[in-house]
Amino acid sequence: MLNLEILATLRNLIEEARRSGDPEPGAVNVATVDAQGHVSARMVLLKHIDERGVTFFTDYRSEKAQAIEAHPQIALTLYWKHLKPAAQVRIEGRAEKLDAGESDAYFSSRVRLSQLGAWASEQSATLPGRELLEQRVAMREREFADRPVPRPPHWGGYRVVPQMVEFWYAHEHRLNERVRWELVEGEWKQRLLYP
C-alpha cells in the first residue's frame, strides 16, 4: 500500500502535467524482462492510481504480458520535461493482473472503436498489411452491431504494486533533487540520494 505522501505527490505531478497542457500526462515507460532475460521497454498509458498501486491495460497475449508472466517484477518511468522544475518518477514493483470486474469496468468506459480494436488486434503478432487490421475491425463492428462490445478474455489490466518510488526534480547545474521511498518490512522509508 502506498502511503498518503507518495500518493499525493504522484497525483499532484500528473495533475500539474495535465494543467501544463501535456497531451498524455499519464504516459509511462514500462520495462520488463522476458523468460530469456531480454529487457524491453515501451510506453503505455497509466489509467488509475490509488493506495494499492498504479494500473495500465493491455492485451494479455502481447510481448509485455508474456514477459510479466515470466518475471512480474517491472519498472515504470514517468517524465515531464516541461514542468518547472522538470520531474521524473521511477516506480519498481510487482505487476499483478486485475480482477475481471476491474478490467470490465475500464473496458466499458473506452470508446467503441477502441473496444473493437481490442478484439481485432493480435497485439505483437506480425501484421501482413494494414488492410487486414481494418477488415478485422469492420468484422467485429458487424458482429457487435446491435449490442455493447464485451471485454475480450485476452484483454485486461495490471496493477503495479510498488516496492520503490523515486521522485526526481531538475535543478540548475545538475544539482538535482532525488527523493526515494522504499518499502522495508512493510513500512515506507524515505531517503535523499545524491544527484
Cell digits of residue 105: 469496468
Catalogue the E-assigned strands of 1-150. 27-33, 39-45, 48-50, 53-59, 73-80, 87-97
Average pLDDT of the chain is 97
Predicted pLDDT of residue 34? 96
Q: What is the DSSP letter of 147?
A: S
* Helix axes 130-143 and 112-120, enclosed angle (nearest 10): 120
What whole-number distance in Å separates Cα of residue 26 and Cα of residue 14?
Answer: 7
pTM: 0.93
Give the tens place of pLDDT for each residue, 127-145. Answer: 999 999 999 999 999 999 9
Q: Quickly count: other Cβ atoms within 10 Å of residue 182's Cβ.
A: 15
Region 35-54: mean pLDDT is 97
**CA-wise closest residue to 63 among 113, 124, 119:** 124
Number of neighbouring beta carbons within 10 Å of residue 66: 14
pLDDT band at 108 (very low <50, low <70, confident <90, very high): very high
Beta strands in the chain (DSSP E): 27-33, 39-45, 48-50, 53-59, 73-80, 87-97, 155-169, 177-184, 187-193
Residue 156, strand partner residues: 58
Percent of the chain at pLDDT > 90 equals 99
Do β-strands 53-59 and 155-169 pair in parallel, antiparallel, or remain unpaired? Answer: antiparallel
Report pLDDT for 89. 98
Over residues 182-186, the mean pLDDT reads 97
| Percentage of the chain exceeding pLDDT 70 | 100
pLDDT of residue 129: 96
Domain 4-110+153-193 CATH (choose: 1.10.150.120, 3.20.20.120, 2.30.110.10, 2.40.40.20): 2.30.110.10
Query: What was the pLDDT predicted at 26?
Result: 97
Which one of 174, 178, 180, 191 is the catalytic residue? 174
Our answer to whether residue 110 is catalytic in this structure is: no
Mean pLDDT of 104-120: 97
User: Could you give the C-alpha distances from 123 to 15, 149, 186, 189, in angstroms and in order?
Assistant: 30, 18, 37, 39
* 136-183 per-position pLDDT tens digit: 999 999 999 999 999 999 999 999 999 999 999 999 999 999 999 999
